[in-house]
């Protein structure tokens, strides 16, 4: 009962390869579904969870949101048209609005990852699983990467955008994912030491990459 974590550079073909790995091994693939799970546990809308998730992650947005949640009167009275009580507190604030911050996000995300690890036979995409499950038995930590020019070509074809636009999209997504790992786990997303296997998807076809992963899973103890 193995667990594979996948960290992927944007545009490296990670979505298709993750699906191919899960399909070949008969494992459950968990990517965006984790957002829905966390939202259900927190009883908030998925859009609130996405604010703290890896692809749209912003260190500044996280800081400002948490600052407001910790000190709701900083922006009262009137800034958000919320009623303020005589004591200066925003009346009914916590009852009227679904509050969800990065600490709750991290706690619930980690709990979900731990639960999936205990279950086994799962491919976990992103969200710091390679750090949280580092050193655990039965885990293979995989990194999918490719040269920038290869990723730009892939994105221009897929999104029908210019090379400049593709490069900007790639840079933004990779920056968000790196900041996510740095802020939540204080690790470098690009640190090769986090991974058992780094696959350059520009040099290997999907069937070849899947074969490499299958062979690596067979070596796990």
Tens-digit pLDDT profile for residues 124-166: 999 899 999 999 999 999 999 999 999 999 999 889 999 999 9
- Give me the pLDDT at residue 208, please: 96
Where are the chain's structural domains?
Answer: 3-59+101-217
For residues 87 and 37, the answer to whether their CB atoms sit within 8 Å is: no
Separation CA 63–CA 92 (nearest Å): 23
Q: Tell me the pLDDT of the chain averaged across its residues.
A: 82
Q: pLDDT at residue 93 above 80?
A: no
What residues contact 135, with CB distance under 8 A and at least 6 apart? none
Separation CA 110–CA 147 (nearest Å): 31
Neighbour tally for 90: CB within 10 Å? 18
Position 221 confidence tier, pLDDT thresholds 50, 70, 90: low
- Encoding tokens for residue 119? 């279950």
- Comparing CA positions, the residue from 62, 30, 36 lying closest to residue 49 is 36
Beta bridge partners of 200: 145
Q: pLDDT at residue 211 above 60?
A: yes
Separation CA 164–CA 154 (nearest Å): 13
For residues 105 and 52, the answer to whether their CB atoms sit within 8 Å is: yes
pTM confidence score: 0.79
- Give me the pLDDT at residue 70, please: 53
List, for residues 15-36, the tens digit of each pLDDT value: 999 999 999 999 999 988 888 7
- Comparing CA positions, the residue from 131, 135, 136 lying closest to residue 117 is 136
Separation CA 166–CA 142 (nearest Å): 24
For residues 68 and 75, the answer to whether their CB atoms sit within 8 Å is: yes
Task: State whether residue 72 is helix, strand or coil.
Answer: helix
- Low-confidence winner among 5-9, 26-30, 85-89, 109-113 (lowest mean pLDDT): 85-89
**Fold of domain 3-59+101-217:** Rossmann fold (3.40.50)
Burial class (CB in 10 A: 0-12, 13-18, 19+), 127: buried
- Give me the pLDDT at residue 182, please: 93
Any alpha helices (H) in the chain, and if so which ranges?
A: 14-25, 33-42, 46-50, 59-70, 93-96, 102-119, 129-132, 148-159, 163-185, 206-217
């Amino acid at each position: 009962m193995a667990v594979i974590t996948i960290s992927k550079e944007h545009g490296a073909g990670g979505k298709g390869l993750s699906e191919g790995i899960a399909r070949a091994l008969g494992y459950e693939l968990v990517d965006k579904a984790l957002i829905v799970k966390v939202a259900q546990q927190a009883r908030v809308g998925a859009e609130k969870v996405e604010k703290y998730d890896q692809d749209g992650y912003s260190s500044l947005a996280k800081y400002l949101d948490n600052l407001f949640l910790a000190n709701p009167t900083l922006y009262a009275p009137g800034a958000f048209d919320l009623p303020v009580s005589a004591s200066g507190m925003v009346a009914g604030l916590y009852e009227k609005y679904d509050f969800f911050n990065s600490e709750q996000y991290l706690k619930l995300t980690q709990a979900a990852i731990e639960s999936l690890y205990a279950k086994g036979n799962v491919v976990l995409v992103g969200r710091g699983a390679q750090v949280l499950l580092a050193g655990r038995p039965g885990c293979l930590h995989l990194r999918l990467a490719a040269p920038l020019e290869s990723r730009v070509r892939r994105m221009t074809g897929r999104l029908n955008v210019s090379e400049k636009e593709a490069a900007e999209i790639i840079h933004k997504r990779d920056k968000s994912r790196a900041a996510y790992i740095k802020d939540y786990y204080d690790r470098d997303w690009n640190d090769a030491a986090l991974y058992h296997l780094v696959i350059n998807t520009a040099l290997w076809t999907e069937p070849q990459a899947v074969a490499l992963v299958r062979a690596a899973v067979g070596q796990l103890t």
